Amino acid sequence: MSTHRIEPNALSEISALATELVKEVSRAYFGGAAPIELILTSLMARGHVLLEGVPGIAKTTLCKAFASSLGCSYRRIQFTPDLLPSDITGTFVFQGRDSTRAGEFVLREGPIFAQVVLGDEINRAPAKTQSALLEAMQERQVTIDGQTRALPPPFLVLATQNPIEHEGTYPLPEAQVDRFLMKIKLGYPTKEAEKQMLRIYSSVKDEIATRQLLNPNTIVRIQELADLVHIEEELLDYVLELAQFTRTHRRVAIGASPRASLQLVNAAKAQALLSGRDYVLPDDIRVLTPFVFGHRVIMSPEAELEGHGEGVVIREALDRVPYRKSAGSGPQAG
């Protein structure tokens, strides 16, 4: 039986807000609505996003336009081979005689102390510096010289990376990759969209500013409402069977983790809410599975030599694993 705990007015307002935000960000980013919708879903599911694509396809523009529409504090970290962990988290600095806090060590906060953090070209930094984000992404806090500092909610990391085969990049450690709820591969825009981009950006000097449509308190409230979205037991079983398929596939070395299953459920609930529903549908699961499971599936060396990627396994899972709905179940039951 489904319990409707979210007011219909709230559902319609959230759905309308989501539609308006996607439209607003699309004024600056011409790569289609799908990446914007996925990032918004990840935000409302309290997850982080890894964006992958070749240089020059407006990954940074997408992140900046999205962040400015949220009404949240925003910082950008440009990852380079010489970037240190303290350059991200910050460090304690001794205050001289001219300071009002002379003789004290005062924290100089790094760029991680923002509500939306863009980690640009994250795979250009070595693993030690990449790992500086781990505690922040998982715990929403950082530890500096033994002192723990909370990060301001809502906390979202949008990291961009170039494909691994490009020179000067380092593969992200598996523990780091697993902290991202979704990985979205961005491609080239359509010819029509690229022409529109040329028309607009060739006549303006700066990036197009997007209107603020949300604020931190509203985002946190929507995240809390997403927790209340109903998901049937049969859909939980469906998620588990999809994960199990990846774990037992003959070409897979490491399948989707229990964290991946949990994050798929959370993302499906957030997507349902943004669509104006207080219950999850099987299609929510199917649409999000490639983005939540894909980067967590590690292929066997033999499969890689044969040219088989994780995308093939995810497609097989969605084709072969059935959704078994029991009699009388569903959002209208009872």
Report the alpha-carbon distance of residue 234 to residue 325 in Å, rounded.
6
Does the pLDDT of residue 2 top 60, yes or no? no
Q: Is residue 96 part of a domain?
A: no
Find tokens 């010819």 and name the residue: 191
pTM: 0.90
Q: Does residue 195 share a domain with residue 288?
A: no
Q: Is residue 105 part of a domain?
A: no
CA distances to 4, 41, 207, 240, 331 from 234, rounded to whole Å, are 18, 22, 46, 10, 12
Q: Is residue 108 part of a domain?
A: no
Which of 226, 242, 268 marks a domain boundary? Answer: 226
Report which DSSP code applies to 190. P
Report the alpha-carbon distance of residue 281 to residue 265 in Å, rounded.
11
Secondary element (H or E) of residue 286: helix 282-293
Query: Cis link prior to 154 (omega < 30° from 0)?
Result: yes
- Cβ atoms of residues 136 and 180 within 8 Å: no
- Output Rg (C-alpha) for the chain, integer angstroms: 21
Q: What is the pLDDT of residue 99?
A: 67
DSSP 41-103: HHHHTT-EEEEE--TTS-HHHHHHHHHHHHT--EEEEE--TT--HHHHHEEEEE--TTSTTTT
Q: Does residue 18 share a domain with residue 122?
A: yes
Q: Is residue 62 part of a domain?
A: yes
Give the contacts of 7 (CB within 8 A, at least 6 positions apart): none
Tens digit of each residue's pLDDT (9 = 90 or more) over 253-304: 999 999 999 999 999 999 999 999 999 999 999 999 999 999 999 888 888 7
| Region of poorest pLDDT, from 163-167, 189-193, 251-255 | 163-167
Q: Does residue 196 share a domain with residue 160?
A: yes
Q: Cβ of 267: how many Cβ atoms within 10 Å?
A: 28
Does the pLDDT of residue 167 top 60, yes or no? yes
Q: Does residue 125 share a domain with residue 216?
A: yes
Q: What is the pLDDT of residue 208?
A: 84
CATH assignment at residue 298:
1.10.8.80
Which of 177, 196, 226 marks a domain boundary? Answer: 226
Give the contacts of 19 (CB within 8 A, at least 6 positions apart): none
Q: Does residue 208 share a domain with residue 236?
A: no
Which of 207, 226, 245 marks a domain boundary? Answer: 226
CA distances to 77, 228, 230 from 5, rounded to whole Å, are 40, 7, 9
List the domain range (segments joined by +) for residue 18.
1-82+113-226
Q: What is the mean pLDDT of residues 189-204?
A: 90
Tens digit of each residue's pLDDT (9 = 90 or more) over 36-69: 999 999 999 999 999 999 888 999 999 999 999 9
